[in-house]
């Protein structure tokens, strides 16, 4: 595993994207702005849907909010792509950063959670009308989703505060 991480770190650091991010005056600010826009799309759509499944804004049918999910998926894709640009630019500061590792854990958990939702609850939730509660399992999935995305946001913000010292990394 150590050899794999070392090879990955070196390869990412020597890509054209890393070079652009590290030498351009505009690379990092553009990526930050795009990342924030993607985050707004993701949390705006998914967050509203999760809150409705939890029982808030019951006058809104769940099916109507579910139509916003493609916007959340688009925001997620934007964030993955812009996040890769950060990772390539400062590979060591991300790969060995506990906040980044926790962020990836939260993202993975959110991914499993959405998979569970679409395999088990999506059809039941789609027919939940205005003033109706989502099934209990859907509410648990919604709480888990919101907690994961809040964890992603918090850990993303903590990245700059938990930069590992260079001597901490045994592979560097």
What does the pLDDT average to over 64-87? 95
Residue 85 has pLDDT above 90, yes or no: yes
User: 54: Cβ–Cβ under 8 A, 6 or more apart, which residues?
Assistant: 134, 139, 142, 143, 146
pLDDT tens digits along 1-12: 678 878 888 898
What does the pLDDT average to over 14-27? 93
pLDDT at 37: 98
User: 97: Cβ–Cβ under 8 A, 6 or more apart, which residues?
Assistant: 159, 162, 163, 164
Residue 150 tokens read as 């809040």
pTM of the model: 0.88
Band of residue 165 on the pLDDT scale cut at 50, 70, 90: low
pLDDT at 4: 86
pLDDT at 167: 46
Least-confidence region, from 7-11, 96-100, 146-150: 7-11
What does the pLDDT average to over 55-76? 94
pLDDT at 171: 47
Distances (CA, A) of 85 to 56, 57, 66, 91, 115: 36, 37, 30, 10, 26
pLDDT tens digits along 29-55: 999 999 999 999 999 999 999 999 999
* Helix and strand totals (H; E) in the chain: 9, 0
């Amino acid at each position: 595993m150590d050899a794999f991480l070392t090879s990955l770190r070196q390869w990412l650091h020597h890509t054209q994207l890393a070079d652009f991010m590290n030498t351009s005056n505009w690379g990092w600010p553009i990526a930050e702005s795009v990342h924030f826009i993607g985050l707004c799309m993701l949390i705006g759509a998914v967050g509203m849907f999760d809150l409705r499944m939890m029982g808030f804004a019951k006058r809104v049918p769940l099916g109507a909010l579910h139509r916003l999910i493609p916007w959340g998926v688009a925001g997620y894709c934007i964030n993955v792509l812009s996040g890769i640009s950060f990772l390539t630019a400062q590979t060591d500061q991300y790969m060995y950063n506990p906040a980044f590792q926790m962020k990836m854990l939260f993202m993975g958990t959110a991914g499993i959670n959405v998979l569970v939702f679409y395999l088990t609850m999506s059809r039941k939730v789609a027919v939940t009308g205005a003033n109706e509660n989502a099934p209990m399992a859907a509410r648990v999935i919604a709480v888990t989703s919101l907690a994961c995305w809040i964890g992603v946001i918090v850990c993303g913000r903590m990245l700059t505060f938990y930069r590992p010292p260079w001597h901490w990394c045994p592979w560097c």
